[in-house]
Structures are given as C-alpha cells and as structure tokens.
Amino acid sequence: MRILKTLSGERLAAFIMLAFLSIPHLTRADDFFTLQTDIPSSGTRNEIVPGKTLTEDQPVGSVRERPSEDVFGKRSGFVHPFLSITEYYTDNVFYARENKESDFVTIISPGIWLTVPHVYEKLLHIDTSNLSPGGFSLSRYKPETFKRYQTYLFYNADIEQFAKFSSENTVSHRAEGFLQYNLRGGLSLELLDQFIASHDVRGTGISTELDKFKTNLANVIVTYDVSDRFKVRADYSNFFVNYVAGRNDFRDRDDNVISGYLFYQYKPRTAFFIEYDFLDIQYREDVSLNSEEHHYFTGVQWDITAKSKGSVKAGYGIKDFTGSGVESSDNFILEAQIDHKFTPKTSLILKASRRTNETNVSTTDFILTNMIEVEYLQKVTGKITADIKFSFTNDRYNGESTFDGVTKKERDNYYMGAFALQYKFREWLQMDLGYVFDKRDSNFSDFDYTVNIAFVRITGSL
C-alpha cells in the first residue's frame, strides 16, 4: 500500500507497539469510550466520554467539525489506519442509584479510513441516535468539496473489557461509506450509508441490562444551483433499528424521511432557507406507535470567516399517530449549531435542539427532548489542548408509566460535564486524559444516578 512508503521504521514500530498497551478509549460517561475517535453521541444526548470511534456527520450548512488532522495528523496517501487504547475507572458500572459497583475498563479501538481522491480530513461527522426519527439527531450538512467527485470509507471496532464484570464485555462495530459527485451545471449528488452494531448507553430509559442493537442509515442528497442566488435541495433517508433481545421488540422500526429545502444566498457566505420534512415511522411489533411527522422550518446558515460558522433554524412540528387512538402532538421545534473561534487558539461550539424522539419505555408514546451542549477548546501550547464540555438534556415522556405503585408521566434531566487534556507527542501519536461527571435526575427516583469517570487514552494513526 502507498501508505507504507511514507513510514519510517520508528513510526511503524511505535504504532505496532500501541497494540500491546492496555489503554483503550471511551464514550458518554460509559459510552464516550466506545465507537468514537472524535466525541460521540448516543441515546438522546451527546457524550464526551473517552472512547467511541463512531463519529458523527455534519448537518445541512451547519457547523463543521474541527479538522480531523487534530486527531489523525497530516498525512499523504489514500489509506489511514488508526488505533486508540483507553483505560478508564468508573465508580458506577451499572448506573445504579444505590449499591454502586466500580471497575476498571479497557477499550481497544482499531480502525481504518480511506479516501479517493485522498484528503487530509475525516469527512463524515454524523450525529445519530436510535431515538431520533430518521436516525439523525442533528441535521446533516454537506461536506464542502470543490472536486468533481469524492469517495470515503470508514470502519471502526470497540473492544470493551471489564476487569471485574466480564459479563459486560462487548464488541461494537461501525462502518460507513460516502460518495459525492458534482456535475457541471450546478447539480450535485451525495450518497451515504452507515451501519452500527453496538449497545445503548447504560442508564437510559428504564432498562438495567445491556441493550444491544443493529442500525443502518442510508441517505441521499441532491442539490441544484438554480441561479447565483437560489439553490434547491432534496433528501431521502431510510433508517432501520433492530434490537437483539426480545424485551426490546417494541422498539424495532423502519423510518423513511423525505426533505426539501430552498436556499436564498443573501450574501456570499450567508444564506436563508425554508425546509419541509415528512417522516414515516413504522414499527414492526407495536404498530400502535406508528406515526407520521411534518416539520416546517425557516433558518439561516453562515460561514462568514474562519472565525464563525453555523446554522440556526426554528419551526413547527406535527406528530400524527396513524395506528392507534393516540392524540396527535404539535410542538415548537428548533436546532442550532454554532462554531465560533475567538482567537486561533480559543473556540466555542454550541449545539441546541428541541424535538420529538421515539420512546424507549413501552407504556409511553414518544419523548419531547430539549438539549443544549457547550464545548470550549483552548490550545494551551503547541502540544497541549484543553477541552471542557457541558450538556443538559430534558426528556418529557408522553403517556404515563407505573413504578412501585406510582403512576405518572416520566420526566428526566441529564447533566454531563467533562474536562480533558490532550498532549501530542508527534503528529501521529497523542495522549488524552480527563474526567467525566454524569448525572440523571428523574421524577421516578429509582432511576437517579451519578457516575464519575477518570480516563487516559493513547491514539496512534498513520
């Protein structure tokens, strides 16, 4: 392979040596460490825990991820293997309110990505969730490219090994492919497919067990530049969710989503747009949860300078249940993704949303979720970067649940805070260490928990 030509003996030896270190990488307090070379997301909320290599893509005209060379380093060649090893300590393995169990966990995360033509950035950063109708928890914006075509393939595994609780050991997989083709005359086509075999973040819903699943998300985007001022875009997505255990059969479903956009280019780097989404959500077992959703948005997206880029949209959402007597729901919905660089060394990333999600509790119909997440990045020196992240999520379930003889509508608040330092030994070798705090506050107190995690991670890439 072409990449081997660029390796010195020192680099190759060091990369192979990483495979023998017992230091994996994490994901949301428990899931920030799995399937995520960047910062992951699972359930209804994004997590900053150490170790997922499942990275998420960007939304239509939204915030672009930090250049992936921050993670992978600048390289030439088409093929880029990487290995991340994380060791973390958790004081609450099972996200329990009482009788907490602690453990040390190792996550080994090998992976590879390739591009044709070659680029120096990992192209896709997709925010996905099993609870989100259509799969995308935040809108996906097209990666910018000025080439005629671009292809991209990615694979990552997370091998989780618990020191004491070996029953919790798992192996997760993620594979994704991407093709963008730009034709003359302003027409462009984009194809994306993402497959995940993993498990829910512990401490979500009412489950006390490890809920494993498989999902596949296929997405097509067609964009046409009508004129210098106007652009139209059409999307189609198919998302299927399949849980392994029979207790979760009520969550298996197939979603089909059709979206249309009209953009008006107000200034060279600022555009206003209107958006309509139709979502058809079909459950395989519990057909009473079948529904159709209609979303109407107006918004603005900008990429003014290297300092500021983002997207904000707000609108109206209707959820109409087609297979039962459940009343339809009308809600104000919004989404914001903003990336602002105050200086070349200091930046702030903000994500916020209000939306309806599918339920993970069998006696309820859906979840109305409000989420806000703030991340602060500070380059301390040429080799050291600090990362501080906070998030808050409020889940309001539609429909009543009964626990310990008490019946009411479930309300959950999730709080997450994390701090990490990254040290770059070389462009191809870095170490991260940090701390994560995760808390759930439910009106059913049995579901409350707090989790503290300390982690160290080493990542090598070619």
Into how many domains does the chain fold? 1
Q: What is the mean pLDDT of residues 20-39?
A: 39
Q: What whole-number distance in Å separates Cα of residue 367 and Cα of residue 361?
A: 10
Q: 7 pLDDT exceeds 60? A: no
Please report the pLDDT score of residue 78 as a whole number: 83
SS3 361: coil
CATH number at residue 232: 2.40.170
Q: Which residues have a Cβ under 8 Å from the Cβ of 17 and sit 6 or more positions away?
A: none
Residue with more model confidence, 37 or 235: 235
Please report the pLDDT score of residue 10 as a whole number: 40
Q: Which residues have a Cβ under 8 Å from the Cβ of 317 and sit 6 or more positions away?
A: 293, 294, 295, 296, 330, 331, 332, 333, 355, 356
**What pLDDT, in 10s, does the model give residues 254-291?**
999 999 999 999 998 899 999 999 999 999 998 999 99
From 17-31, 137-151, 376-390, the region with the lowest mean pLDDT:
17-31
pLDDT band at 184 (very low <50, low <70, confident <90, very high): confident
Q: What is the mean pLDDT of residues 55-82?
A: 45
Q: 70 pLDDT exceeds 90? A: no
Cα–Cα nearest to 342, from 384, 318, 378, 302? 378
From 90-99, 142-151, 253-262, 319-328, the region with the lowest mean pLDDT:
142-151
Residue with more model confidence, 80 or 205: 80
Please report the pLDDT score of residue 2 as a whole number: 34
From 130-144, 153-167, 360-374, 425-439, the region with the lowest mean pLDDT:
130-144
Q: What whole-number distance in Å separates Cα of residue 30 and Cα of residue 436?
A: 9
From 24-38, 410-424, 432-446, the region with the lowest mean pLDDT:
24-38
Q: 130 pLDDT exceeds 50? A: yes
Residue with more model confidence, 58 or 147: 147
Please report the pLDDT score of residue 13 as a whole number: 39
Q: What whole-number distance in Å separates Cα of residue 389 and Cα of residue 415?
A: 11
Please report the pLDDT score of residue 124 as a whole number: 73
Q: 342 pLDDT exceeds 50? A: yes
Q: What whole-number distance in Å separates Cα of residue 450 and Cα of residue 414?
A: 10
Please report the pLDDT score of residue 142 as a whole number: 67
pTM here is 0.83
Q: 117: cis peptide before it, omega within 30°?
A: yes
Please report the pLDDT score of residue 20 as a whole number: 34
From 122-126, 216-220, 252-256, 299-303, the region with the lowest mean pLDDT:
122-126
Please report the pLDDT score of residue 361 as a whole number: 92
pLDDT band at 5 (very low <50, low <70, confident <90, very high): very low
Percent of all residues in the chain with a pLDDT value above 70, rounded to a whole number: 80
Q: What is the DSSP letter of 2?
A: H
pLDDT band at 110 (very low <50, low <70, confident <90, very high): very high
From 6-20, 147-161, 192-206, the region with the lowest mean pLDDT:
6-20
Q: Find the domain containing 55 and state its range.
A: 2-461
Q: What whole-number distance in Å separates Cα of residue 291 and Cα of residue 317?
A: 13
Q: With DSSP H G I counted as helix, E B as strand and the rest as coil, what are the percentages for the chain, rounded to 5?
A: 5, 60, 35
pLDDT band at 72 (very low <50, low <70, confident <90, very high): very low
pLDDT band at 146 (very low <50, low <70, confident <90, very high): low
Q: What whole-number distance in Å separates Cα of residue 200 and Cα of residue 381?
A: 37
pLDDT band at 201 (very low <50, low <70, confident <90, very high): confident
Mean pLDDT in the chain? 83
